[in-house]
Amino acid sequence: MAEAAGVAIKTVSRVLNNEPNVREETRQRVLAIVKKLNYHPSLSARSLAGRRSFLIGLIYENPSANYIVDVQHGAMARCREDRFQLLMHQVTGRGEEMERDVLGLVDQTHLDGLIVTAPLSESADLMRALDRRALPFVRVAPNDVAHPTPYVDMDDAGAAREMTEYLIGLGHRRIGFIIGHPDHFASGQRLLGYKAALAAHDIAYLERYVRQGFFVFESGMEAAKDLLSQNEPPTAIFASNDDMAAGVLMAAHELGINVPERLSVAGFDDTYIAKTVWPRLTTVHQPTYDLAYTATNLLLQMLQTGIAPQSMRLGYRLVCRASTAVVPK
């Protein structure tokens, strides 16, 4: 390759890495030969010599398929721009086993950086271990903001509060709430938003209208059946994600309760499922793709500059579809 262009291998390296100090004419000549020969520098050789792998990892635990696919594509899109490759990694185990799994990945592949999704980002032990290895990482929301490393998130509490107020605005007073997985920081934030909205409208917070869910369909269905089986059941149910809200719809169908005529249902995330169930779900649009794209962007910036960029908060919006209506008389 270098011989074909009549330059030293070092010059080719300079051109391909966009380094300065190459005459424009030389650059063009090299570029032409590169194209002609369809030359691609070897990733492994670059990695070994340059002590960087051009590999970014994205670790996740057990999220809903529609959510993780959005995350994946957002991160991939940003990686592609800088010719980085993205390594998706589903962690196994919990606690120490999870840590060993992640660190094994890091050590073996010599990742340049890591994107950590919730709730993995809430393991203080893992964060500490990553710090110890001096591995740059960015957390993708929603998660705990206490750690000093950069993150991208949205205002979960604010969004949940807005959704709850939207339901209150429709005249609902008995509003059920299904909490997300207890391991997720966001679950607590969304619950907080729900409570804040009630308080702001002088509606008492009643435990009997609140159930613990686990971010999965079945848990939403179970919780809804439980909520709806009591005297004075809620006239609206707000589930902490779309999968659980879809479960609420399923429960309503099975119980013969019409949505939204007799029961309003709201979700959170605005994943694919929200548009495919009937009636279509009113939900909070979480900019999942953008969150991942932005997180990757911050990570890449950090790798280039060596300094940690500012964390970012992205916007959300309510999406009102067919699963909510004014409270029945």
Which residue ranges make up the site for DNA (CB under 7 A)? 1, 7-11, 13-14, 16-17, 20-27, 41-42, 45-46, 48-52
**Cβ neighbour number for residue 114 with a 10 Å cutoff:** 24
The token duo for 255 is: 């119980």
Q: Looking at 1, 2, 69, 203, which residue binds its own copies (CB under 8 A)?
A: 69
Q: Which of residues 21-50 bind its own copies (CB under 8 A)?
A: 38, 40-45, 47-48
Task: Please choose, from the candidates 315, 300, 272, 291, the residue with its C-alpha nearest in 3D space to the C-alpha of residue 117.
Answer: 291
Structure tokens at 135: 């591995």
* Site stretch for its own copies (CB under 8 A), options 62-70, 118-126, 190-198, 233-241: 62-70
Nearer to DNA, 49 or 326 (CB): 49
Interacting partner of 23 out of DNA, its own copies, none (Cβ under 5 to 8 A depending on kind): DNA
Among 174, 208, 255, 272, binds its own copies (CB under 8 A): 272
Stretch that binds its own copies, among 23-31, 118-126, 240-248, 306-314 (CB under 8 A): 240-248
Question: Which one of 10-18, 103-111, 140-148, 200-208 is the stretch in contact with its own copies (CB under 8 A)?
Answer: 103-111
| Tokens read off for 174 | 């008995």
Secondary element (H or E) of residue 265:
strand 264-266
Q: What is the DSSP string of 16-28?
A: HTT-S---HHHHH
For residue 84, CA distances in Å to 219, 235, 288 come to 38, 50, 20
Closer by beta carbon to DNA, 26 or else 149 = 26
Residue 253 makes contact with its own copies by CB under 8 A: yes
Closest contact distance (angstroms) between CB of 203 and its own copies is 30
C-alpha 208/C-alpha 203 separation (Å) is: 14
Question: Helix, strand, or coil here: 211?
Answer: strand
Q: What is the DSSP string of 148-198?
A: SS-EEEE-HHHHHHHHHHHHHHTT--SEEEEE--TT-HHHHHHHHHHHHHH
Q: Which among its own copies, DNA, none contacts residue 26 (Cβ within 5 to 8 A by kind)?
A: DNA
Q: How far apart are CA 215 and CA 178, in angstroms?
A: 9
Give dist(CA 119, CA 230) in Å, integer. 33
* Residue 133 near its own copies by CB under 8 A: no
Q: Which long-range contacts (CB under 8 A, 24 or more apart) does 1-5 make?
A: 1/33, 1/34, 1/37, 1/39, 4/33, 4/37, 5/29, 5/30, 5/33
Q: Which of 2, 4, 31, 87 touches its own copies by CB under 8 A? A: 87
Q: Is 72 in the site for its own copies (CB under 8 A)?
A: yes
35 binds, among its own copies, DNA, none (CB under 5 to 8 A by kind): none
Applying CB under 8 A, does 115 fall inside the site for its own copies? no
Q: Which residues are near its own copies by CB under 8 A? A: 38, 40-45, 47-48, 53, 65-66, 68-70, 72-73, 76, 83, 85-90, 104, 107-110, 217, 243, 246-247, 249-250, 253, 272-273, 275-279
